[in-house]
Protein backbone atom coordinates (compact mmCIF):
# COMPACT_ATOMS: atom_id res chain seq x y z
CA UNK A 1 0.00 0.00 0.00
CA UNK A 2 2.82 2.37 0.93
CA UNK A 3 4.62 1.58 -2.36
CA UNK A 4 1.45 2.34 -4.33
CA UNK A 5 1.03 5.65 -2.53
CA UNK A 6 4.66 6.52 -3.24
CA UNK A 7 4.18 5.79 -6.94
CA UNK A 8 1.06 7.96 -7.01
CA UNK A 9 2.88 10.83 -5.34
CA UNK A 10 5.70 10.52 -7.87
CA UNK A 11 3.13 10.56 -10.69
CA UNK A 12 1.43 13.66 -9.28
CA UNK A 13 4.79 15.40 -8.88
CA UNK A 14 5.56 14.67 -12.53
CA UNK A 15 2.18 16.01 -13.66
CA UNK A 16 2.57 19.19 -11.61
CA UNK A 17 6.07 19.76 -12.97
CA UNK A 18 6.31 23.17 -14.63
CA UNK A 19 3.08 24.52 -13.08
CA UNK A 20 4.93 27.31 -11.25
CA UNK A 21 6.56 28.45 -14.48
CA UNK A 22 3.23 28.25 -16.35
CA UNK A 23 1.51 30.34 -13.68
CA UNK A 24 4.17 32.98 -14.24
CA UNK A 25 3.53 32.86 -17.99
CA UNK A 26 -0.22 33.29 -17.38
CA UNK A 27 0.38 36.24 -15.05
CA UNK A 28 2.62 37.91 -17.64
CA UNK A 29 0.06 37.36 -20.42
CA UNK A 30 -2.82 38.67 -18.29
CA UNK A 31 -0.88 41.80 -17.39
CA UNK A 32 0.67 42.73 -20.72
CA UNK A 33 -1.30 40.90 -23.44
CA UNK A 34 -4.71 40.71 -21.76
CA UNK A 35 -5.54 44.43 -22.11
CA UNK A 36 -4.76 44.30 -25.84
CA UNK A 37 -6.96 41.22 -26.30
CA UNK A 38 -9.79 42.90 -24.39
CA UNK A 39 -9.60 45.99 -26.62
CA UNK A 40 -9.41 44.01 -29.87
CA UNK A 41 -12.41 41.84 -28.96
CA UNK A 42 -14.40 44.50 -27.08
CA UNK A 43 -14.95 42.05 -24.22
CA UNK A 44 -16.13 43.00 -20.74
CA UNK A 45 -15.90 40.62 -17.78
CA UNK A 46 -18.25 40.48 -14.83
CA UNK A 47 -16.04 40.51 -11.70
CA UNK A 48 -15.74 37.09 -10.05
CA UNK A 49 -13.62 35.15 -7.58
CA UNK A 50 -13.27 31.37 -7.66
CA UNK A 51 -13.00 30.07 -4.10
CA UNK A 52 -11.79 26.51 -4.79
CA UNK A 53 -8.09 25.71 -5.00
CA UNK A 54 -8.51 23.05 -7.71
CA UNK A 55 -11.35 23.01 -10.21
CA UNK A 56 -12.58 21.86 -13.59
CA UNK A 57 -13.66 24.93 -15.58
CA UNK A 58 -16.17 24.47 -18.41
CA UNK A 59 -17.01 27.17 -20.94
CA UNK A 60 -19.10 27.52 -24.09
CA UNK A 61 -17.03 27.71 -27.27
CA UNK A 62 -17.41 30.68 -29.66
CA UNK A 63 -13.89 31.92 -30.50
CA UNK A 64 -10.41 30.43 -30.96
CA UNK A 65 -9.20 32.64 -28.10
CA UNK A 66 -11.82 31.39 -25.63
CA UNK A 67 -9.12 29.86 -23.37
CA UNK A 68 -7.51 33.30 -23.05
CA UNK A 69 -10.88 34.90 -22.26
CA UNK A 70 -11.52 32.28 -19.58
CA UNK A 71 -8.12 32.87 -17.94
CA UNK A 72 -8.47 36.67 -18.08
CA UNK A 73 -12.03 36.56 -16.76
CA UNK A 74 -11.31 34.22 -13.83
CA UNK A 75 -7.72 35.38 -13.19
CA UNK A 76 -6.79 31.77 -12.42
CA UNK A 77 -4.27 29.34 -13.90
CA UNK A 78 -5.50 26.19 -15.59
CA UNK A 79 -4.30 23.71 -18.17
CA UNK A 80 -6.51 23.45 -21.23
CA UNK A 81 -7.75 20.53 -23.27
CA UNK A 82 -7.04 21.31 -26.94
CA UNK A 83 -6.70 19.75 -30.37
CA UNK A 84 -3.76 17.34 -30.34
CA UNK A 85 -2.36 19.00 -33.46
CA UNK A 86 -1.47 22.03 -31.31
CA UNK A 87 0.90 19.89 -29.24
CA UNK A 88 2.98 18.83 -32.25
CA UNK A 89 5.58 20.54 -34.41
CA UNK A 90 6.54 24.17 -33.93
CA UNK A 91 3.26 25.03 -32.15
CA UNK A 92 3.79 22.25 -29.64
CA UNK A 93 7.40 23.31 -29.06
CA UNK A 94 6.11 26.56 -27.53
CA UNK A 95 2.64 25.64 -26.22
CA UNK A 96 3.56 22.49 -24.29
CA UNK A 97 6.13 23.98 -21.87
CA UNK A 98 4.47 27.41 -21.61
CA UNK A 99 0.85 26.32 -21.20
CA UNK A 100 0.83 22.55 -20.51
CA UNK A 101 -1.77 21.63 -23.15
CA UNK A 102 -3.76 18.41 -22.56
CA UNK A 103 -4.12 16.87 -26.05
CA UNK A 104 -7.42 15.58 -27.43
CA UNK A 105 -7.46 13.84 -30.81
CA UNK A 106 -10.44 15.10 -32.83
CA UNK A 107 -12.71 12.31 -34.02
CA UNK A 108 -11.10 9.76 -31.67
CA UNK A 109 -12.34 8.36 -28.37
CA UNK A 110 -11.63 10.69 -25.48
CA UNK A 111 -10.44 8.09 -22.95
CA UNK A 112 -6.82 9.28 -22.93
CA UNK A 113 -7.81 12.93 -22.57
CA UNK A 114 -10.25 12.16 -19.75
CA UNK A 115 -7.56 10.17 -17.91
CA UNK A 116 -5.16 13.11 -18.29
CA UNK A 117 -7.77 15.57 -17.02
CA UNK A 118 -8.52 13.45 -13.95
CA UNK A 119 -4.79 12.95 -13.25
CA UNK A 120 -4.15 16.71 -13.38
CA UNK A 121 -7.07 17.42 -11.03
CA UNK A 122 -5.89 14.77 -8.56
CA UNK A 123 -2.43 16.35 -8.70
CA UNK A 124 -3.95 19.72 -7.74
CA UNK A 125 -3.75 21.30 -11.21
CA UNK A 126 -6.95 23.00 -12.41
CA UNK A 127 -8.17 22.17 -15.93
CA UNK A 128 -10.19 24.21 -18.43
CA UNK A 129 -12.12 22.75 -21.36
CA UNK A 130 -14.94 23.50 -23.78
CA UNK A 131 -17.14 20.39 -23.69
CA UNK A 132 -18.86 21.12 -27.01
CA UNK A 133 -15.56 20.12 -28.61
CA UNK A 134 -16.06 22.58 -31.47
CA UNK A 135 -16.97 26.21 -31.91
CA UNK A 136 -20.66 26.74 -32.53
CA UNK A 137 -21.63 26.91 -36.20
CA UNK A 138 -24.95 28.70 -35.66
CA UNK A 139 -24.68 30.74 -32.44
CA UNK A 140 -26.38 28.19 -30.20
CA UNK A 141 -24.39 26.05 -27.78
CA UNK A 142 -23.60 22.67 -29.37
CA UNK A 143 -24.27 19.19 -27.94
CA UNK A 144 -22.40 18.38 -24.72
CA UNK A 145 -21.66 14.75 -23.94
CA UNK A 146 -23.17 13.39 -20.69
CA UNK A 147 -19.75 11.88 -20.05
CA UNK A 148 -18.63 15.38 -19.03
CA UNK A 149 -20.93 15.21 -15.99
CA UNK A 150 -19.54 11.83 -14.95
CA UNK A 151 -16.00 13.17 -15.15
CA UNK A 152 -16.93 16.23 -13.09
CA UNK A 153 -18.56 14.08 -10.40
CA UNK A 154 -15.71 11.56 -10.20
CA UNK A 155 -12.87 14.10 -10.30
CA UNK A 156 -13.14 15.12 -6.65
CA UNK A 157 -12.52 18.75 -7.67
CA UNK A 158 -14.85 21.71 -7.85
CA UNK A 159 -16.74 22.50 -11.05
CA UNK A 160 -16.82 26.01 -12.52
CA UNK A 161 -19.11 27.03 -15.40
CA UNK A 162 -18.25 30.16 -17.39
CA UNK A 163 -20.41 31.69 -20.12
CA UNK A 164 -19.22 33.90 -22.99
CA UNK A 165 -21.76 35.86 -25.03
CA UNK A 166 -21.32 37.98 -28.15
CA UNK A 167 -18.37 35.93 -29.38
CA UNK A 168 -20.29 34.14 -32.10
CA UNK A 169 -21.70 37.26 -33.77
CA UNK A 170 -18.34 39.01 -33.46
CA UNK A 171 -16.82 36.34 -35.72
CA UNK A 172 -19.13 33.49 -36.72
CA UNK A 173 -17.22 30.27 -37.29
CA UNK A 174 -18.14 30.34 -40.97
CA UNK A 175 -17.42 34.06 -41.56
CA UNK A 176 -14.73 35.36 -43.88
CA UNK A 177 -14.38 38.62 -41.95
CA UNK A 178 -14.38 39.72 -38.30
CA UNK A 179 -16.97 42.24 -37.12
CA UNK A 180 -16.86 45.03 -34.51
CA UNK A 181 -19.16 44.52 -31.55
CA UNK A 182 -19.33 43.65 -27.84
CA UNK A 183 -18.51 40.43 -25.99
CA UNK A 184 -19.23 39.57 -22.36
CA UNK A 185 -17.82 36.98 -19.96
CA UNK A 186 -19.28 35.86 -16.64
CA UNK A 187 -18.87 33.13 -14.05
CA UNK A 188 -22.21 31.31 -13.91
CA UNK A 189 -21.69 28.97 -10.96
CA UNK A 190 -19.06 27.30 -8.80
CA UNK A 191 -20.06 23.84 -7.59
CA UNK A 192 -18.04 22.59 -4.64
CA UNK A 193 -16.96 18.91 -4.41
CA UNK A 194 -19.55 18.50 -1.64
CA UNK A 195 -22.33 19.86 -3.89
CA UNK A 196 -21.30 17.57 -6.74
CA UNK A 197 -21.25 14.55 -4.42
CA UNK A 198 -24.87 15.24 -3.44
CA UNK A 199 -26.02 15.58 -7.06
CA UNK A 200 -26.78 12.79 -9.54
CA UNK A 201 -24.89 12.57 -12.82
CA UNK A 202 -28.08 13.57 -14.62
CA UNK A 203 -28.50 16.56 -12.31
CA UNK A 204 -24.92 17.67 -12.95
CA UNK A 205 -25.38 17.21 -16.69
CA UNK A 206 -28.55 19.32 -16.73
CA UNK A 207 -26.77 22.02 -14.70
CA UNK A 208 -23.83 22.11 -17.15
CA UNK A 209 -26.13 22.33 -20.18
CA UNK A 210 -28.23 25.05 -18.53
CA UNK A 211 -25.23 27.11 -17.40
CA UNK A 212 -23.44 26.98 -20.75
CA UNK A 213 -26.42 27.37 -23.06
CA UNK A 214 -26.34 30.50 -25.23
CA UNK A 215 -28.54 31.55 -28.12
CA UNK A 216 -26.60 34.40 -29.73
CA UNK A 217 -29.70 35.89 -31.32
CA UNK A 218 -31.68 36.01 -28.08
CA UNK A 219 -28.71 37.73 -26.39
CA UNK A 220 -28.41 40.21 -29.25
CA UNK A 221 -32.12 41.01 -29.15
CA UNK A 222 -31.97 41.55 -25.37
CA UNK A 223 -29.05 44.02 -25.59
CA UNK A 224 -29.65 45.54 -29.04
CA UNK A 225 -25.99 44.97 -29.99
CA UNK A 226 -24.72 45.63 -33.52
CA UNK A 227 -21.84 43.77 -35.19
CA UNK A 228 -20.59 45.96 -38.01
CA UNK A 229 -18.19 44.88 -40.73
CA UNK A 230 -17.75 44.20 -44.41
CA UNK A 231 -19.24 41.37 -46.46
CA UNK A 232 -21.22 40.07 -43.48
CA UNK A 233 -22.76 37.10 -45.31
CA UNK A 234 -19.63 35.81 -47.02
CA UNK A 235 -18.69 32.34 -45.82
CA UNK A 236 -22.19 31.31 -44.71
CA UNK A 237 -22.17 28.68 -47.48
CA UNK A 238 -19.71 26.70 -45.33
CA UNK A 239 -22.45 26.12 -42.75
CA UNK A 240 -25.66 26.53 -44.79
CA UNK A 241 -25.32 23.32 -46.78
CA UNK A 242 -29.01 22.61 -47.49
CA UNK A 243 -31.21 25.06 -49.37
CA UNK A 244 -34.61 25.23 -47.60
CA UNK A 245 -36.38 25.94 -50.88
CA UNK A 246 -35.00 23.39 -53.37
CA UNK A 247 -33.51 20.95 -50.80
CA UNK A 248 -30.22 20.56 -52.66
CA UNK A 249 -26.81 20.26 -51.02
CA UNK A 250 -24.07 22.82 -51.57
CA UNK A 251 -26.03 25.29 -53.72
CA UNK A 252 -25.96 28.32 -51.38
CA UNK A 253 -23.79 31.23 -52.56
CA UNK A 254 -22.88 34.47 -50.78
CA UNK A 255 -21.64 37.88 -51.87
CA UNK A 256 -21.27 40.94 -49.67
CA UNK A 257 -24.27 40.89 -47.35
CA UNK A 258 -26.36 38.77 -49.72
CA UNK A 259 -27.28 35.08 -49.66
CA UNK A 260 -28.83 33.29 -52.61
CA UNK A 261 -29.44 30.01 -54.42
CA UNK A 262 -30.12 29.60 -58.14
CA UNK A 263 -33.58 28.27 -57.26
CA UNK A 264 -34.63 31.81 -56.29
CA UNK A 265 -33.90 31.81 -52.56
CA UNK A 266 -32.41 35.12 -51.42
CA UNK A 267 -31.71 36.91 -48.14
CA UNK A 268 -29.78 39.82 -46.70
CA UNK A 269 -27.61 39.46 -43.59
CA UNK A 270 -27.88 42.42 -41.18
CA UNK A 271 -25.54 43.95 -38.61
CA UNK A 272 -27.74 42.41 -35.90
CA UNK A 273 -26.84 38.93 -37.16
CA UNK A 274 -30.45 38.36 -38.25
CA UNK A 275 -31.82 38.08 -41.79
CA UNK A 276 -33.72 41.04 -43.20
CA UNK A 277 -37.46 40.43 -42.78
CA UNK A 278 -38.21 41.41 -46.38
CA UNK A 279 -35.88 38.68 -47.64
CA UNK A 280 -37.19 35.62 -49.49
CA UNK A 281 -36.02 33.46 -46.58
CA UNK A 282 -38.24 31.29 -44.36
CA UNK A 283 -36.02 31.83 -41.29
CA UNK A 284 -35.17 34.83 -39.13
CA UNK A 285 -31.58 33.75 -38.39
CA UNK A 286 -29.11 30.98 -39.11
CA UNK A 287 -29.81 29.10 -35.86
CA UNK A 288 -33.33 28.45 -37.16
CA UNK A 289 -31.96 27.45 -40.57
CA UNK A 290 -29.48 25.04 -38.99
CA UNK A 291 -32.20 23.42 -36.86
CA UNK A 292 -34.14 22.85 -40.08
CA UNK A 293 -31.09 21.26 -41.73
CA UNK A 294 -30.51 18.89 -38.81
CA UNK A 295 -34.16 17.90 -38.56
CA UNK A 296 -34.36 17.27 -42.31
CA UNK A 297 -31.27 15.04 -42.18
CA UNK A 298 -32.68 13.02 -39.29
CA UNK A 299 -36.06 12.58 -40.99
CA UNK A 300 -34.67 11.57 -44.42
CA UNK A 301 -31.79 9.29 -43.40
CA UNK A 302 -33.48 6.13 -44.76
CA UNK A 303 -33.94 7.52 -48.27
CA UNK A 304 -30.45 9.05 -48.28
CA UNK A 305 -28.96 5.58 -47.68
CA UNK A 306 -30.54 4.38 -50.94
CA UNK A 307 -28.46 6.80 -53.02
CA UNK A 308 -25.61 4.39 -53.88
CA UNK A 309 -25.31 5.11 -57.61
CA UNK A 310 -25.26 8.90 -57.56
CA UNK A 311 -23.30 10.89 -54.96
CA UNK A 312 -25.26 12.89 -52.42
CA UNK A 313 -22.41 15.42 -52.34
CA UNK A 314 -19.14 15.80 -54.20
CA UNK A 315 -16.35 18.37 -54.42
CA UNK A 316 -12.85 18.65 -55.87
CA UNK A 317 -9.54 20.45 -55.35
CA UNK A 318 -8.53 19.23 -51.88
CA UNK A 319 -5.16 18.70 -50.27
CA UNK A 320 -5.28 15.08 -49.07
CA UNK A 321 -3.25 13.51 -46.27
CA UNK A 322 -3.33 10.14 -44.55
CA UNK A 323 -2.46 10.00 -40.86
CA UNK A 324 -1.40 6.52 -39.80
CA UNK A 325 -0.03 5.64 -36.35
CA UNK A 326 0.46 9.35 -35.74
CA UNK A 327 2.53 9.93 -38.90
CA UNK A 328 1.28 12.27 -41.66
CA UNK A 329 1.65 11.21 -45.30
CA UNK A 330 0.80 13.84 -47.93
CA UNK A 331 -0.99 12.02 -50.78
CA UNK A 332 -2.18 14.73 -53.15
CA UNK A 333 -2.71 18.45 -53.72
CA UNK A 334 -5.67 17.87 -56.06
CA UNK A 335 -7.96 15.21 -54.61
CA UNK A 336 -11.73 14.97 -54.90
CA UNK A 337 -14.39 13.47 -52.63
CA UNK A 338 -17.79 11.93 -53.31
CA UNK A 339 -20.16 10.73 -50.60
CA UNK A 340 -22.79 8.11 -51.43
CA UNK A 341 -25.47 6.51 -49.31
CA UNK A 342 -23.17 3.64 -48.37
CA UNK A 343 -19.58 4.87 -48.87
CA UNK A 344 -17.08 7.67 -49.28
CA UNK A 345 -14.80 7.76 -52.34
CA UNK A 346 -11.65 9.90 -52.46
CA UNK A 347 -9.87 10.12 -55.80
CA UNK A 348 -6.42 11.45 -56.54
CA UNK A 349 -3.73 10.97 -59.16
CA UNK A 350 -2.71 7.47 -58.08
CA UNK A 351 -5.82 5.73 -56.77
CA UNK A 352 -9.41 5.77 -55.53
CA UNK A 353 -9.79 5.29 -51.79
CA UNK A 354 -13.11 3.80 -50.74
CA UNK A 355 -14.37 3.61 -47.18
CA UNK A 356 -17.81 2.29 -46.27
CA UNK A 357 -19.99 4.43 -44.04
CA UNK A 358 -20.15 1.70 -41.38
CA UNK A 359 -16.32 1.58 -41.31
CA UNK A 360 -15.96 5.29 -40.51
CA UNK A 361 -15.61 5.56 -36.74
CA UNK A 362 -15.25 9.33 -36.51
CA UNK A 363 -15.86 12.33 -38.74
CA UNK A 364 -15.35 16.01 -38.06
CA UNK A 365 -14.51 19.48 -39.31
CA UNK A 366 -11.69 21.81 -38.34
CA UNK A 367 -11.82 25.54 -39.12
CA UNK A 368 -13.92 26.26 -42.24
CA UNK A 369 -12.40 24.26 -45.09
CA UNK A 370 -10.88 21.25 -43.35
CA UNK A 371 -12.44 17.87 -42.55
CA UNK A 372 -11.19 14.47 -41.48
CA UNK A 373 -12.53 10.97 -40.94
CA UNK A 374 -11.25 7.79 -39.36
CA UNK A 375 -11.38 4.70 -41.56
CA UNK A 376 -10.63 1.87 -39.15
CA UNK A 377 -8.81 2.13 -35.83
CA UNK A 378 -5.47 3.52 -37.03
CA UNK A 379 -6.04 5.39 -40.31
CA UNK A 380 -7.31 8.95 -40.64
CA UNK A 381 -7.79 10.93 -43.84
CA UNK A 382 -7.66 14.72 -43.76
CA UNK A 383 -8.88 16.97 -46.59
CA UNK A 384 -8.28 20.72 -46.79
CA UNK A 385 -10.18 22.57 -49.52
CA UNK A 386 -8.35 25.07 -51.74
CA UNK A 387 -11.64 26.90 -52.44
CA UNK A 388 -14.89 27.62 -50.54
CA UNK A 389 -16.57 24.28 -49.81
CA UNK A 390 -19.13 23.26 -47.20
CA UNK A 391 -17.25 20.53 -45.36
CA UNK A 392 -20.00 20.55 -42.73
CA UNK A 393 -22.41 18.87 -45.14
CA UNK A 394 -20.20 15.76 -45.22
CA UNK A 395 -20.21 15.57 -41.42
CA UNK A 396 -24.00 16.01 -41.36
CA UNK A 397 -24.51 13.34 -44.03
CA UNK A 398 -22.18 10.90 -42.26
CA UNK A 399 -24.13 11.26 -39.01
CA UNK A 400 -27.41 10.72 -40.82
CA UNK A 401 -26.20 7.76 -42.91
CA UNK A 402 -24.51 6.05 -39.98
CA UNK A 403 -27.62 6.23 -37.81
CA UNK A 404 -26.23 8.84 -35.42
CA UNK A 405 -28.79 11.45 -34.43
CA UNK A 406 -27.66 14.86 -35.60
CA UNK A 407 -28.24 17.42 -32.82
- Kindly report, as residue ranges, where domains of CATH 3.40.1130 are found in the chain: 2-223
- Whole-angstrom Cα distance, residue 292 to residue 252? 15
Residues of the chain with CATH 2.30.29.30: 308-401
Which parts of the chain register pLDDT below 70? 1-13, 84-87, 89-91, 93, 106-109
Domain range 2-223, CATH class: alpha beta
Q: What is the pLDDT of residue 212?
A: 98
pLDDT 10s digits, 335-352: 999 999 999 999 998 799
Q: Which of 385, 368, 217 is nearest to 288 (CA)?
A: 217
pLDDT, residue 242, reads 95
What is the structure's pLDDT at 325? 77
How much is the pLDDT for 61? Answer: 94
What is the reported pLDDT for 9?
Answer: 60
308-401: CATH class:
mainly beta
pTM for this predicted structure: 0.89
pLDDT of residue 404: 85
Supply the pLDDT for residue 107: 58
Amino acid sequence: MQAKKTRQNAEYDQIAKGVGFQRGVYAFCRTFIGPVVNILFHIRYKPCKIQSKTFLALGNHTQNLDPAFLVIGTRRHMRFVANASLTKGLAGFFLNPFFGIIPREKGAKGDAAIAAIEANLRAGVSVGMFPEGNRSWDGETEFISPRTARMAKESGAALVTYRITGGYLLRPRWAEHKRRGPMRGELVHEYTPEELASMSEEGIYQAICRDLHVNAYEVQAAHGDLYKGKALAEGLQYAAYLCPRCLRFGTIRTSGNGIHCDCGLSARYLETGWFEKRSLMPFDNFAQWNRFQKQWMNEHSAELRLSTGKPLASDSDFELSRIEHGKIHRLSEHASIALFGDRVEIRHEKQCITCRIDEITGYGTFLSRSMYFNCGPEIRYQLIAHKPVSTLKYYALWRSLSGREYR
